[in-house]
């Protein structure tokens, strides 16, 4: 059945409100990718026009992104906009103005990763995963959004940046900065703990490179998980697990900022040129 232009416009309008509620705030580019399924000059123009109308109707407010090179406008729901949703905001907030006021680079790029890794997103009922805001809102049980483990007798807690639920359950790490050697070691310890008994709570971990400063993460991680020296002292079980991490459980992706799509890379990804 073919939708009329009016019905199609109403659907895009509602999808935009629903997606903004999940993200906390979003740009026209993110809305174009999340609602229309692709980021092109045409869909970006349609998203910008729709967001402009929603702002005129006082369903959203906006501010310029100070962390963005181009200073994109970011949009968030007002109280009137929240009233149009089919679900409550995270933490049952009455509006999203505070999240917009305190917008920061990590959440902004995590939102880009969420829309990049998903098909068209309509509502919270589209079980494609969880946004960074939803994960950190603590509305869900700790078991769903936290992983606790021990290293040398010390309790560690780690939280994903994004969760995908298609085609399997995926823990996403947004790589938007250089990891120190200490932080890389913590990442390896976490991966070993998460998959020590195989894929249980999560099937894969995706590392998504979103900045040139993090482009060597695949090469560095593969080196940390390799055991070229047979006398390096690691137990056989750890060596076998590290091989499974390299070959099966850990995937590397690069976010294309122009199209908001994810490009797969080998774990030993190296920048060209």
Report CA 37 to chain centroid distance, whole Å. Answer: 16
CB 80 within 8 Å of CB 55? no
Task: Please tell me which of 48-62, 80-94, 166-180, 221-235 the model is most confident about, judged by mean pLDDT.
Answer: 48-62
Last residue of a domain, one of 43, 70, 101: 101
Is residue 71's pLDDT more than 60? yes
| E-assigned strand segments in 113-202 | 129-130, 147-151, 154-158, 162-164, 170-175
If we measure between CA atoms, which residue out of 271, 232, 26 comes closest to residue 133? 26
Last residue of a domain, one of 101, 131, 152: 101
Q: What band does 229 get if pLDDT is binned at 50, 70 and 90?
A: confident
In which domain, by residue range, is 179 found?
142-265
Is residue 76's pLDDT more than 90? yes
**Residue 161 maps to a domain:** yes
Last residue of a domain, one of 51, 76, 101: 101
Regarding whether 159 and 223 lie in a shared domain, the answer is yes
**Residue 166 maps to a domain:** yes
Beta strands 60-64 and 73-77 are antiparallel
**Residue 117 maps to a domain:** no
Q: How far apart are CA 130 and CA 155, in angstroms?
A: 25
Regarding whether 150 and 89 lie in a shared domain, the answer is no
Helix (H, G, I), strand (E, B) or coil at 143: helix
Give the number of domains in the chain: 2
pLDDT in tens, 21-60: 999 999 999 999 999 999 999 999 999 999 999 999 999 9
**Residue 273 maps to a domain:** no
Give rounded-to-5 percent helix, strand, coil for the chain.
45, 20, 40
Note the pTM of the prediction, 2 decimals: 0.91
Q: What is the CATH number of the domain that holds 60?
A: 1.10.10.10
246: Cβ contacts below 8 Å, ≥ 6 apart: 222, 225, 226, 267
112: Cβ contacts below 8 Å, ≥ 6 apart: 29, 30, 33, 210, 255, 257, 260
Regarding whether 259 and 161 lie in a shared domain, the answer is yes
Instruction: Take residue 46 and report the two structure tokens written for it.
Output: 């349609």
Regarding whether 238 and 184 lie in a shared domain, the answer is yes
Regarding whether 259 and 201 lie in a shared domain, the answer is yes
Regarding whether 16 and 77 lie in a shared domain, the answer is yes
Q: Is the dihedral of CA 225, 230, 232, 233 positive or negative?
A: positive
Q: What band does 122 get if pLDDT is binned at 50, 70 and 90?
A: low
Regarding whether 185 and 95 lie in a shared domain, the answer is no
Q: Is the dihedral of CA 16, 19, 23, 28 positive or negative?
A: negative
Q: In this predicted structure, which of 40-54, 85-99, 218-232 has the lowest mean pLDDT?
A: 218-232
């Amino acid at each position: 059945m073919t939708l009329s232009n009016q019905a199609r416009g109403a659907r895009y309008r509602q999808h935009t409100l629903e997606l903004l509620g999940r993200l906390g705030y979003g740009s026209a580019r993110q809305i174009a990718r999340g609602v229309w399924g692709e980021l092109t000059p045409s869909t970006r123009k349609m998203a910008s026009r729709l967001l402009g109308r929603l702002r005129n109707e006082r369903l959203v407010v906006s501010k310029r992104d100070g962390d963005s090179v181009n200073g994109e406008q970011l949009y968030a729901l007002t109280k009137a906009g929240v009233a149009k949703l089919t679900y409550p905001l995270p933490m049952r907030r009455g509006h999203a103005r505070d999240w917009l006021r305190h917008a920061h680079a990590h959440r902004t790029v995590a939102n880009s990763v969420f829309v990049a890794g998903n098909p068209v997103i309509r509502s919270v009922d589209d079980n494609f995963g969880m946004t960074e805001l939803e994960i950190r809102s603590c509305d869900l049980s700790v078991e769903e959004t936290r992983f606790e483990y021990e290293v040398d007798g010390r309790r560690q807690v780690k939280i994903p940046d994004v969760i995908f639920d298609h085609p399997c359950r995926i823990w996403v790490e947004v790589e938007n900065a250089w990891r120190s050697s200490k932080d890389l070691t913590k990442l390896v310890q976490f991966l070993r703990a998460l998959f020590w008994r195989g894929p249980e709570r999560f099937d894969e971990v995706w590392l998504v490179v979103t900045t040139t400063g993090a482009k060597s993460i695949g090469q560095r991680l593969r080196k940390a998980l390799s055991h070229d020296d047979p006398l390096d002292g690691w137990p056989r079980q750890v060596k076998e697990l590290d091989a499974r991490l390299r070959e099966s459980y850990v995937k590397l992706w690069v976010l294309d900022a122009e199209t908001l799509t994810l490009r797969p890379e080998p774990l030993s990804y190296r920048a060209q040129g």
